[in-house]
Amino acid sequence: MPTFLSDAVRLAYLDEANAATRAPPVLLIHGFASNIEMNWVATSWVRDLAGAGYRVVAIDNRGHGGSEKLYVPEAYSREIMAEDARRLLDHLGIRQAHVIGYSMGARIAATLALAHPDRVARLVLGGLGHNMVRAMAGTGPIAQALLAPSIDDVVNPTARTFRAFAEQTHSDLKALAVCVRQIRDPVAREEIARLSCPTLVAVGTNDVIAGPAHILADLIPGAETFEIVGRDHMKAVGDRSFKGAVFEFFER
């Protein structure tokens, strides 16, 4: 994939520019321990959006995928990662985009829309509901699981799931351990209430990580919700009904 510099940090990205028949383009921001390939290519999001005529842009978040790995906590605030996304839009000369963020990517996408409301046309927050605005415990065990000598040493079931996924995506475990301690800080309720773009919150009905979609949507003026029926946190992202809801939301 091509790369660009975001405040001296080299980040990888995807740009399916030849499909640009609709405006605005769509920016995709993946979840924790994932990457463009796992979150958006393997689930056919890139293919389906491009097939519908959208220019598709996606970023490998810092510490993930083909992007530079950093090992200091201050490198991974949601504000800094949102600026990475904004700088990618600047790098590609894109004034405004629809934005889809999943899980950690939803937190980054919301922060982008709050900091630069003129750059986000419509916003999709996938895989993150109430826990966007609620202080989350458990980052310590996840970080410890990522740094454990072997997954066999991890006994916490949730932490073990994250370790297994990080290994599946061939991630830098040390970089992710630093990232997870920073990126899960909540967005203040009064802050999320300032979102001004049309917003869709979509969460799987079996997702025990995200928190209820309707609690988050109730805080955002005019926000809509979509339940991804029968899907957990890992399976919801590629669900056909989720895609259908997003396409309908964009086409309105």
Pairing of strands 199-204, 224-228: parallel
Within-domain flag for 224: yes
Within-domain flag for 93: yes
Q: Count the neighbouring beta carbons within 10 Å of the beta carbon of residue 78.
A: 22
Average pLDDT of span 223-242? 97
Residue 29's nearest CA partner among 166, 114, 123 is 123
Two structure tokens written together for 225: 């919700």
Q: Rounded CA gap, 71 and 90, in Å?
A: 26
Range of the domain at 191: 3-136+185-251
Within-domain flag for 159: no
Which pLDDT score, from 0 to 100, does residue 138 have?
A: 67
- The number of folded domains in the chain is 1
Residue 155, judged by CB atoms within 10 A of its CB (0-12, 13-18, 19+), counts as exposed
Q: Rounded CA gap, 155 and 145, in Å?
A: 9
pLDDT at 106 over 80: yes
CA 173, 242, 56, 196 dihedral sign is negative
Q: Rounded CA gap, 96 and 141, in Å?
A: 38
Q: What is the pTM of this model?
A: 0.96
CATH of the domain at 218: 3.40.50.1820
Q: Answer whether 193's CB lies under 8 Å from 168's CB.
A: no
Only one residue has tokens 């040390």, namely 174
Within-domain flag for 195: yes
* Per-residue pLDDT tens over the stretch 35-54: 999 999 999 999 999 999 99
Within-domain flag for 108: yes
pLDDT at 59 over 90: yes
* Per-residue pLDDT tens over the stretch 167-204: 999 999 999 999 998 887 889 999 999 999 999 999 99
Within-domain flag for 28: yes
Mean pLDDT of all residues belonging to the chain: 95
Least confident of 63-72, 80-89, 156-165: 156-165
Within-domain flag for 219: yes
Within-domain flag for 145: no
| Residues in Cβ contact with 166 at an 8 Å cutoff, skipping those fewer than 6 apart | 33, 146, 173, 176
